[in-house]
Amino acid sequence: MTELLLASSNPGKTREYRLLLDGVGYQITTLPEERINEAVTESGHTYEENARLKAVTYARRSRLTTLADDSGLEVDVLDGAPGVQSARFAGESATDTERVNLLLAKLSGVPWARRTARFKCVIVIASPAGGLATCYGECQGLIAFEARGEGGFGYDPVFYLPELDKTMAELPAEVKNRISHRGRASQCARQVLLQLRSRQ
């Protein structure tokens, strides 16, 4: 089976992509599995720039079709922060809990109606030959007053979905993967990968 390199060392993200891309005809491998230790500095100013940088670099390095994403949380009252800095919001080595706690502290006293936010995800698929495809996904919600739920990762415990009356971390994986920003971008990525497979 043809391999697809997932350009991430994040175990939560890797788990989700193995589910989201199940059945597309690729065997998913990861940077640690390929013994690739080279870190790509996410120096872009947009999710797309960062995702493209990772996908192209690792496709050249591995000689494998590579899927990379960049995603983040944008909070309106914080002028779109943390945005592309979402993973580094509380420092390079901060835990998910530390990032969530910092976010809640910054929103202390902000009323419910002004806690609007969205998750965004951009996926870039790069072939070793230089082909590129880009997919986008977005999910609207609100920032809860406290963390709830044990599922997911990152900011999921405070990302509240009014239509479901749950945070992202309270959703079963199959529901999250259907409605999340990463799930929506992956629907496009599945089509790209199926088309690539049909040409091989």
Q: Identify the CATH number of the domain in which residue 65 sits.
A: 3.90.950.10
Q: What is the pLDDT of residue 135?
A: 98
Q: Is residue 66 within 8 Å of residue 126, measured between CB atoms?
A: yes
Annotated catalytic residue 69? no
CA distance 5 to 79: 34
Q: What is the domain extent for residue 123?
A: 3-199
Counting the structural domains of the chain, the total is 1
**Residue 61 banded pLDDT, cuts 50, 70, 90:** very high
Q: Are strands 27-30 and 132-143 parallel, antiparallel or unpaired?
A: unpaired
Of 70, 76, 156, 165, the active-site residue reads 70
**Residue 200 banded pLDDT, cuts 50, 70, 90:** low
Model pTM score: 0.92
